[in-house]
Amino acid sequence: MGKETVVLAYSGGLDTSICIPLVKERYGFDRVVTVAVNVGQRDEEIAMATEKGKNLADVHYTIDAREKFVHEFIFAAIRANGLYEGYPMGTALARPLIAEEVVRVAMREGATTVAHGCTGKGNDQLRFDFIFRIAGLEVIAPIRELNLTREWEIEYAQEHNIPVTVKKEKPWSIDENLWSRSIEGGRLEDPAYHPPEEIYAWTVSPDKAPDTPEIITLDFLKGVPVRMNGKDMSGMELISTLNDLAGKHGIGRSNMIEDRILGIKAREIYEHPAATVILTAHADLEQLTLTRQELAFKRMVDDKWAELAYMGLVHEPLFHDLNAFIATSQEKVTGTVDVQLFKGSCRVLGRSSPESVYSGELASFDSAAMDQTHAIGVSAYYGIQARMIEQRKRK
Ligand code: ARG
């Protein structure tokens, strides 16, 4: 008697596809259930995964998790100004959600083992395993455990009638969701190599972008965007519209040396047009609506939030605590930001908010609202300790 059912997180790519015969041949399972989770990949990508899953596995599920991805993960990242080492995280945000959906299918199918196609070098294995192990499931990861090479994989796929789409000339590993697209592998692994134009799919080269700037207006409500150019939009609609628009203006490319969880440095290319615009506008609106103290403290919170989110530790108690702080901080982050999109850059032109902590009366050169003589007393004692020490040194 075999080992029954295993539920596999499935993308339709080479690694996860060869896992289907591998878990039967090498691990002795009788039945493979594949799960593809739609977090905003291209439609063709989801269609391809669905078709391949149906052909190759015993049972296949395609789950549309886009709404959940936007509301529970992307919105949280916007509130937290979610940048890891300077770029807007994408893959990291989606992995816990994909894992949760796989767990749900495992429960439904009565499976006690789940599988994924991650290698032993990257972050995704750890992000998946964390969620799977919380659910008390056994995890198998054939690519990591059998130490397979690309060449072996391609040959094995061909023997098992699995269509292979990775080509020698275009060996990029791509991961895509509504928030970002990541491209790695092949010659990009040389940090000195200049990324060729062909790897980009969401953004045009800034020098090919339109010669006329475009100004858009984003309205935020409690830290998340709800309206674009005066039109109410769902998060999903707003983000995909903005990906097209800002991508057309060449906005949102990153070319990184990134520190992975295990400490390995990796060369990574990303595209994230909507994320760049939304995060830029959001941070600007915080600058208008939060106090200096809140801003300074929140920068530390945001940094820690990003580190934990990158590591996939979304059930770390500290992560929940940080989210609680971030949620209250965002009560006031409501207002409007005008952003100019032009040849790869996104610049805030103006902002306004009913929660503004800015007083034109106080700051203006032309106003008498502040009695300037009050500053004389402040100035008299300003930096008093440092002044004493410095004066002593100069004697
Ligand atoms: N380095 C990024 C991250 O860890 C992107 C990984 C992309 N994954 C992939 N399988 N292509 O978040």
Examine the residue annotation and report whether 359 is marked as an active-site residue of this protein. Answer: no
Q: Ligand 1 mean position to 180 CA, how many Å?
A: 10
261 neighbors 250 (Cβ within 8 angstroms): no
pLDDT, tens digit, for every residue of 323-353? 999 999 999 999 999 999 999 999 999 999 9
* Cβ of 173 below 6 Å from ligand 1: yes
pLDDT band at 98 (very low <50, low <70, confident <90, very high): very high
Q: Domains for the chain: give ranges and CATH numbers.
A: 3-171 (3.40.50.620), 181-352 (3.90.1260.10), 361-394 (no CATH)
CA atoms within 13 A on the CB side of 39: 29
Examine the residue annotation and report whether 64 is marked as an active-site residue of this protein. Answer: no
The radius of gyration computed from the CA coordinates of the chain, to the nearest angstrom, equals: 25
* Cβ of 91 below 6 Å from ligand 1: yes
How much is the average pLDDT of 267-282? 98
Residue 139 has pLDDT above 90, yes or no: yes
Examine the residue annotation and report whether 180 is marked as an active-site residue of this protein. Answer: no
pLDDT, tens digit, for every residue of 20-37? 999 999 999 999 999 999
Q: Ligand 1 mean position to 124 CA, how many Å?
A: 7
CA angle (375, 377, 381) in 5-degree steps: 110
Q: Which of 95, 144, 267, 351 is catalytic?
A: 95
Predicted pLDDT at 1: 44
Q: Ligand 1 mean position to 288 CA, how many Å?
A: 34
| Ligand 1 atom having least distance to the Cα of 268 | 1
Examine the residue annotation and report whether 30 is marked as an active-site residue of this protein. Answer: no
Predicted pLDDT at 165: 76
Q: Ligand 1 mean position to 227 CA, how many Å?
A: 30
* Cβ of 123 below 6 Å from ligand 1: yes
* Cβ of 92 below 6 Å from ligand 1: yes
Q: Which of 173, 240, 345, 356 is catalytic?
A: 173
Residue 168 has pLDDT above 70, yes or no: no
Predicted pLDDT at 273: 98
* Cβ of 182 below 6 Å from ligand 1: yes
179 neighbors 74 (Cβ within 8 angstroms): yes
Residue nearest to atom 9 of ligand 1 (CA): 175
pLDDT, mean over the chain: 96
How much is the average pLDDT of 237-258? 98
Would you tell me the crossing angle of helices 292-310 and 317-329 to the nearest 10 degrees?
140
How much is the average pLDDT of 302-306? 98
63 neighbors 38 (Cβ within 8 angstroms): yes
